[in-house]
Amino acid sequence: MTTPDSDKLIFVYGTLKRGFCLGHYLKGQIFLSDALSTADYTMYDCGSYPGLVKAESGGVSIHGELWRVDSRCLKLLDEVEGVAENLYQRGAIQLIQPQVTEPVQTYFYQESVNQLPVVGDTWQ
């Protein structure tokens, strides 16, 4: 069970979404709503998963989901997303919808995107 002191808002945009291959890692957490980021990001196709980066210019709004997760789940998600290996880094993201007052975090891709195709605004 989450408590106000230990839980965090997480924006997921790819394989962690409901119905996708890693969505089961959010079992027992609280799905809040579908969500949309500000138009400051670019999502790349990394093969079987997407990579989100802050756009230097020409960013788009990314469609995803907003979840409230507890500290145990957050630690597990960091492992799944390869934070220790610097594959992804958890950081702040701005949302248009829903409007929230507390900070929201997501996983940003850390490797080179030079040769990767741009996905668009939704991972399917």
Domain ranges of the chain: 8-113
* H/E element, 42: strand 41-45
Q: In this structure, which amino acid lies at residue 87?
A: L
pLDDT for residue 3:
47
Tokens of 46: 């990394």
pLDDT the model gives residue 57: 87
Those residues of the chain that have pLDDT short of 70 are 1-6
Confidence at residue 11, expressed as pLDDT on a 0 to 100 scale: 98
Query: pLDDT digit string (tens) for 66-77?
Result: 999 999 999 999
Q: Please give the model's pTM, rounded to 2 decimal places.
A: 0.93
- CATH number of the domain located at residue range(s) 8-113 in this protein: 3.10.490.10
One DSSP character per residue, 47-99 reads SSSEEEEE-SSS-BPPEEEEEEE-HHHHHHHHHHTTTTTTSEEEEE--EEES-
In this predicted model, what pLDDT tens digit does every residue of 92-111 receive, in sequence order?
Answer: 999 999 999 999 999 999 99
